[in-house]
Amino acid sequence: MKALKDRILRDGKHLGNGILKVDGFMNHQIDPVLMKEVGEEFAARFAKTGATRILTAETSGIAPALSAGMAMRIPVVFARKHKPKTMGGEPLRQTAPSHTHGGEVELLVSNEYLEASDKVLIIDDFLSTARTINALVKMVADSGAELVGIGAVIEKSFQGGREAIGKIDVPVESLAVIDSFDGETIVLREDKVAN
Amino acid sequence: MKALKDRILRDGKHLGNGILKVDGFMNHQIDPVLMKEVGEEFAARFAKTGATRILTAETSGIAPALSAGMAMRIPVVFARKHKPKTMGGEPLRQTAPSHTHGGEVELLVSNEYLEASDKVLIIDDFLSTARTINALVKMVADSGAELVGIGAVIEKSFQGGREAIGKIDVPVESLAVIDSFDGETIVLREDKVAN
């Protein structure tokens, strides 16, 4: 996705240790025009999955998941990191890494919004170690729903996420793949076909 | 906004103590089709403000703010509740109530994304006590930017938010106003003109 890759090269910043700062357009400030394109690209790539719901995790997954949901016209559920007063019953629970605190956080999804009859598309901002995505994958399994796809805006291929997801029979799509950092230089994977 | 009001009456649930559960379409699961309309309605109501940025607070403000940003084609900044590794320097800080924990949380906005030259539109999910919105108003003032409007998806008028915002010379718009709860019944304010 050219607009995204151009933006990563222009505004992304490698802070060291494989941490990419994309706060200017995705994780603190959002560029809604770019985010709309991101959603449309996900919709195109997952058009054949028959997804009935999108699942993501707060906070940074919400923007790309909502944008994809707008394009696909299906509901978007975001796993919460804290149980709000409004969440009744016994929610689905999984543990995921905290990207702000370090350590771990619990992700919670009310079973009101993931049903066994659902075909679920998981969308998140990053595919890096895949620990958050794998927690969402487990939630889908726990709900009895069917996983039909996994999409990430940016993949950092050198952090082993695809291997960590393991062999699953659904498409795993990322819209920009970073193969490495060379100091401050962001090395993006080139598409096989120009786009 | 008729679609929103109909949805509140259909899927909203008064849990007691003035707490409205809208997890089915706004705060845990998002209806992207409704949320797109919400954004377009904000864009129409604030079209004349000349806003250059939208400011909201994570988590539940992100969806309506992003949707408004898509319609207005201006960047959306969400105040963070925890300082991520990617946030450098000394961010703007204000205290706001925590709706999940009780107690208070700190809101942080990097001064990279609020500039003195900005005209800022604040968007949030609820206008109830206005404590979160007032924290955002202070951040705008601290940044030196100009506040040009405040929008909330749902206002609970009986919790005194408008009075708490006080006299400010910018439009304050909410798309649905709840005047009271009568047990499980949600009493919505009727529009002067049918819409």
Quote the CA–CA distance of B185 and B12 in Å, as a whole number: 10
The pLDDT value given to residue B98: 84
* Residue A193: per-residue pLDDT: 57
Chain A, nearest residue to B68 by Cα: A32
Strands B119-127, B53-57: pairing is: parallel
Residue A67, chain B, CB below 8 Å: the answer is yes
Task: Read off the pLDDT of residues A147-185 as tens digits, 9 standing for 90 and up.
Answer: 999 999 999 999 999 999 999 999 999 999 999 999 999
Chain B contacts of A84, Cβ < 8 Å? 23, 27-28, 99-100
Show the domains of chain B with their CATH numbers: 2-188 (3.40.50.2020)
Mean pLDDT over residues A59-86, rounded?
A: 96
The verdict on a CB contact (< 8 Å) between A35 and B66 is yes
Here the contacts of B142-145 (C-beta below 8 Å, separation 24 or greater) are B142/B92, B142/B94, B143/B92, B143/B109, B143/B111, B143/B114, B143/B115, B143/B116, B143/B118, B144/B115, B144/B116, B145/B53, B145/B114, B145/B115, B145/B116, B145/B117, B145/B118, B145/B119, B145/B120
CA distance, residue B140 to nearest chain A CA (Å): 15
Give the Cα separation of B45 and B26 in Å (integer).
20
Asked if A85 lies within 8 A of B99 by C-beta distance, the reply is: yes
Chain A touched by B108 (CB under 8 Å): no
**Contacts of B68 by beta carbon, 8 Å cutoff, 6+ apart:** B38, B39, B42, B43, B46, B54, B76, B121, B123, B151
Question: How far is the first Cα of chain A from the last one, in angstroms, to the nearest whole number?
Answer: 7
Of B35, B36, B76, the CB nearest to A29: B76
Which pLDDT score is estimated for A27?
96
pLDDT at A191: 76
* 8-state DSSP, A90: -
B28 to chain A: which residues are within 8 Å by CB?
77-78, 80, 84, 86-87, 109-110, 113
Q: What percent of chain A has pLDDT over 90?
A: 90
What count of other Cβ atoms lies within 10 Å of the Cβ of residue B159? 17
Give me the torsion for CA of B120, B125, B129, B134, rounded to 10°: -20
According to the model, what pLDDT value does residue B194 have?
47
Q: How far is the C-alpha of A155 from the C-alpha of A138, rounded, in Å?
A: 20
User: Most confidently modeled of A30-44, A102-116, B79-93?
Assistant: A30-44
Is B64 within 8 Å of chain A by CB? no
- CB contact (8 A) between residue A70 and residue B33: yes
Confidence (pLDDT) at A54: 98
E strands, B25-141, in order: 29-30, 53-57, 76-79, 92-97, 104-109, 119-127
B-chain CB neighbours of A110 within 8 Å are 23, 28
Question: Residue A99: pLDDT band by 50, 70, 90 thresholds?
Answer: confident
pLDDT tens, residue order, chain B (195 aa)? 999 999 999 999 999 999 999 999 999 999 999 999 999 999 999 999 999 999 999 999 999 999 999 999 999 999 999 899 899 889 999 999 887 777 899 999 999 999 999 999 999 999 999 999 999 999 999 999 999 999 999 999 999 999 999 999 999 999 999 999 999 999 999 876 544
Side chain identity at residue B170, one-letter code: V
Across A46-50, average pLDDT: 98
Mutation to test the B interface, candidates A60, A70, A99, most B Cβ within 10 Å = A70
Nearest-neighbour CA in chain B from A69: distance (Å) = 6
Longest dimension (CA), chain A: 49
Which residue of B13, B23, B36 is the best one to mutate when testing the A interface, meaning the one whose CB has the most A CBs within 10 A? B23
Q: How confident is the model at residue A192 (pLDDT cuts 50, 70, 90)?
A: low
pLDDT band at A195 (very low <50, low <70, confident <90, very high): very low
Judge whether residue A194 has pLDDT over 50: no
Could you please report the per-residue DSSP string of B135-177? HHHHHHHHHTPEEEEEEEEEEEGGG-HHHHH-S-SS-EEEEEE
Given an 8 Å threshold on Cβ–Cβ distance, is B23 in contact with A58? no
Q: What is the pLDDT of residue B193?
A: 57
The span from the CA of A55 to the CA of B124, in Å, is 22
pTM of the model: 0.96
Type of residue found at A79: A
ipTM, 2 dp:
0.96
